[in-house]
Structure 1
Amino acid sequence: MRFDVLSIFPNLFDSYLQQSLLKKAIDAGLVEINTWNFRDWAPGKHSSVDEPPYGGGPGMLIRCEPVFDCVEHVQAQGAAPGRLIVLTPAGRRLDQNLVTELSQEQRLLLLCGRYEGFDHRIMEGLRPLEISVGDFICNGGEVPAMLIIDSVIRLIPGVLGDETSAKYDSFSSEQLLEYPQYTRPREFRGMTVPDVLLSGNHQLIAKWRAEQSLKRTQERRADLLE
């Protein structure tokens, strides 16, 4: 799967791309990630991409021209155009259903805003899918783009060491939170592993896990059960 990240701070991804499962997936050819800088399509010696908003107000907006030119150039680089995504607090909230939907794509283009965001004509003209990672504000779209990459690659066959891992993650099984898990030692500072997990009875263990998932969801995210 190919990701293209479009930003004015693409260097923020340098360290991220060298870590953990993502690096292994890249090295194995399962994932390809390219970063692009809007400034490379900005005119003038300062490569400025921002301007004050019409009508007044705080901050600056990213202009249309460098974004349109950058997107059109990047789309032309692949065998086929990718699905265009803008990271914005006004977008559809990211959840596991949306992550699963995105994992079916062959290619994603992630547009990362800064300042007060994009000129709205970028949304009107390019018609991207607008995604929000939560009801809070980040300094830019780069960290939300990393969240999308991190969550989507887990569903790409071959990325996880155990292919069943993603199946039992929170939100992946019947939209419930994941059950508690334990490992060695059996007892630690007076806290013990539930006996059922040591029983060897896989039917009972599965029943206990299902009950714990439901209980945890009721206590912490009852909205998921509505």
Structure 2
Amino acid sequence: MKRLAQEARVRQGVVDYAEKHGKSEAARKYGVSLSSVKRWSKRYDGTWQSLQERSHRPNSHPRQHSEAEEAAIRQAFVKAYARYGWDGVYAELLKGHGYTRSFGGMYHAATRMGLGWGKKWKRPSTAARRYPELTTPGEKVQIDVKEVPYCCLKGAAKRDGKRLYQWTAIDECTRLRYVFGYEEHTPENSADFLGRLLKVFPFPIQTIQTDNGTEFTYKFISRTEKVRLKRLWQTKGLHTG
């Protein structure tokens, strides 16, 4: 039997004795204060559960979160927790809600409100993720460039000490992949790869996504100059992401 239940049973015996012999006599016999016997007798409803120890936590605190602050925490939690965790929730509160309390204060308030993974809050399924699954072939094609490791080179390329770079295009819907290699990491090769890609893929391409490297765009180093690849996909009517 748990300790709290044992204490409640003892209190039940004290109250039963007080009803038969008086509260003062029960206090003397069991060595407890008369005020405790009176308090237990007042709470007693015939079951030992009514005499269990109650929480001593205060019902309110002068610095407790207001209703507006709790509402802001809920909004920030729904918006940021699934993707960025508690750090993202706190950043969202500071940026979007004018929150002035500490991270620890926010966390304790949120857990007291029942926020966090559990029965009420479950991790969203893949159907509700931020980037939904694409269902149309060619809707988005990712292009990236990687240097081929030296240990993977063979024959003349390895003998002459050359460097090879692999351009890779992957369709997010069908996972169809096209790969081509070049000896130089240049925008001209990106444009050549795009031309080959448009001929090879069996369906039209709507959007191309890259990492915005200088082999794809100059937008971070020049406001006016455009690489050949940029001009090419504009003439083809492609969107970039």
State the TM-score bracket (shorter-chain normalisation).
under 0.3
TM-score (norm 2): 0.20
- Which has the bigger relative contact order, CA under 8 A and spacing at least 6? 1
Q: Highest Rg: 1 or 2?
A: 2
Higher strand fraction: Structure 1 or Structure 2?
Answer: 1
Higher helix fraction: Structure 1 or Structure 2?
Answer: 2
